[in-house]
Amino acid sequence: MISSLRNRVVQNASKCIAQTACNIQGSTPTVLAYHRPSSYQDAFGRSLPDRSCARGLVGSLCSSRRSFMSEGGAGTGEGNHKAPEQENASGTPGEEKAAGAAEDEQGKLVEKLMAENKELKDKVLYTLAEMENVRTIARRDAASAKQFALQSFAKQLLDVADNLNRALASVPKEALEEGGEAGGKEGGGSSLLATLVEGVAMTDAQLQKVFAANQIVQYGKPGDKFDPHMHDALFEYDEEGREGGSVGQVLKTGYTLNGRVIRPAQVGTVKKAV
């Protein structure tokens, strides 16, 4: 940039010298190349000798050049030197701003994708947990349905077992003993009663075996500890020789199916001592 300005200044100075010489001589610039004048005039119209004229012209040109460099040239040269810096200064923040904007956009995109990924991951985990819960509930329901499929049928058979127990309990043992002795001597109707009772007892025993084979268990005996989850207390009475809060009388036995109470035992409990 400085060399180009220097060349331009030299060219302008050459033109000025040629033009000045032409104005002084009143001839074309080519005359200076071949005809050297004897005297010149300075800027104030004074006649100068040949050598002095040349020195004056050179001095004026030098002063003009210094003035040009100090005033116009300083602005032009320094401006030209500073122009690339300004361009760089003006260009670099723009590039940095664009790069920063791109990085911000990429950062926002990454954060958005990470948030979406986390949300999808949570949904997948929630869905897997929900499916596992559904499978667990389905297995439990299937097992429960398999284990307690006979619950309704078993409840209906419990009344049959109760009637058989009532039938056996309605015949006193003395009558059976007397009927056995009389039947052995005479072969009367008492032997038929004993046979009937024996048949009822065998039927009840066979029914209890069927219950046991299907995990139906009978419970409820006098002396058992009262359990509100398994016993239904109908009344409370005083009785010596029994622990207070225990089962004193059993009106109806209870049954469980696979550990679940399908019918609580109806009992009477002994009062606790105050």
Tell me, letter by letter, the H, E, C secondary structure of the chain. Answer: CHHHHHHHHHHHHHHHHHHHHHHHHCCCCHHHHHCCCCEEECCCCCEEEHHHHHHHHHHHHHHHHHHHHHHHHHHHHHHHHHHHHHHHHHHHHHHHHHHHHHHHHHHHHHHHHHHHHHHHHHHHHHHHHHHHHHHHHHHHHHHHHHHCCCHHHHHHHHHHHHHHHHHHHHCCHHHHHHHHHHHHHCCCHHHHHHHHHHHHHHHHHHHHHHHHHCCEEEECCCCCECCCCCEEEEEEECCCCCCCCEEEEEEECEEEECCEEEECEEEEEECCCC
Report which of 261, 268, 221, 265 is spatially closest to residue 245, judged by C-alpha positions: 268
Region 25-36: what's the mean pLDDT? 45
pLDDT at residue 269 is higher than 60: yes
Interval 97-143: pLDDT, tens: 778 788 888 888 899 999 999 999 999 999 999 999 999 999 998 88
pLDDT at 26: 52
Counting Cα atoms < 13 Å in the Cβ hemisphere of 87 gives 6
pLDDT at 5: 60
Region 88-105: what's the mean pLDDT? 72
Which range is least confidently modeled, 39-43, 69-73, 144-148, 177-181?
Answer: 39-43
Nearest 5 degrees, angle CA 123-CA 127-CA 128?
120
Region 227-255: what's the mean pLDDT? 89
Which range is least confidently modeled, 19-33, 77-91, 215-229?
Answer: 77-91
Token look-up 């999808």 returns: 120
pLDDT at residue 274 is higher than 50: yes
Q: Which amino acid is at 1?
A: M
Cβ neighbours, 10 Å, residue 234: 12
Region 192-200: what's the mean pLDDT? 87
Which range is least confidently modeled, 89-98, 114-123, 217-226, 261-270?
Answer: 89-98
Interval 37-79: pLDDT, tens: 444 454 445 454 455 555 555 566 556 556 655 555 444 444 4
**Positive or negative CA dihedral for 73, 76, 80, 83?**
positive
pTM score, whole prediction: 0.49
pLDDT at residue 254 is higher than 80: yes
pLDDT band at 203 (very low <50, low <70, confident <90, very high): very high
What is the C-alpha to C-alpha distance for residues 33 and 95, in angstroms, rounded to an integer?
56
Mean pLDDT of the chain: 75
In this structure, are residues 23 and 43 in contact, taking their beta carbons and an 8 Å threshold?
Answer: no
- What six digits make up the tokens of 144? 């429960």
What is the C-alpha to C-alpha distance for residues 164 and 200, in angstroms, rounded to an integer?
7
Question: What percentage of the chain carries pLDDT values higher than 90?
Answer: 27
> CA end-to-end span of the chain, whole Å?
122
